Amino acid sequence: MSNVKLAVIFYTMSGTNYQMAKWAEEGAKEAGAEVKVLKAEELAPQSVIEANEAWKATVEKTKDVPVATSADLEWADAIIFSIPTRFGNMPSQMKQFLDTQGGLWASGKTINKVVSGMTSAQNPHGGQEATLLSLYTSMMHWGAIIVSPGYTDEVLFGAGGNPYGTSVTVDQDGNMVEDVEGAVKHQAKRTVTVADWVIKGIQ
């Protein structure tokens, strides 16, 4: 397999989507990809973060993770986004990042990027599918190639069987309810595989 360049870009408050991003990194590296794990820039006021112990701890835990930039998107052949749901949509931090990529889009540099998404919420019907569709709507405007997991492996059923992208329920204590590690790694490998096909087709 050619050396696919993958950017795994996450936003997280409690650490769930950072963990999913790390699993995606592991799966992609197993598939031979070169991987960057990056975060969307935090936009919430420091006073709000300081008032939430879990959020504060997550910010500290991820302080050394680089903030994603337009240059990272241009570098990547493929992108996996890992985001929590906010009222059935992507969080504003990730939306802000996407909304500032007009220059990259206008120059045609988002065309044929291979993309996939993952998400989390506090209950099984908390908007996971809608959140991924909100992400994919933007990706359609980019001219990107969306790679969903569908039902391409048995491991996906044990993780809840979301065909749009791996999704996980997080309980009130911040623990993942479903076992999604295998599903995340499968989705990452599938994304890298399709990116490899695209690269070879373009060359």
State how many domains the chain has. 1
Instruction: Give the lowest-confidence range in 4-8, 110-114, 155-159.
Output: 155-159
* Per-residue pLDDT tens over the stretch 162-193: 999 999 999 988 889 989 999 999 999 999 99
Write down the pLDDT at residue 104: 97
CATH of the domain at 27: 3.40.50.360
Residue written as token pair 């990056």: 38
CA torsion angle 99 104 105 109 (round to 10): -140
Confidence of residue 140 (pLDDT cuts 50, 70, 90): very high
User: What single-letter amino acid sits at 14?
Assistant: S
Helix, strand, coil shares of the chain, percent, nearest 5, are 45, 20, 40
pTM: 0.95
Q: Residue 2's pLDDT is what? A: 63
Query: CB–CB of 72/100 below 8 Å?
Result: no
The residue range of the domain holding 182 is 5-202
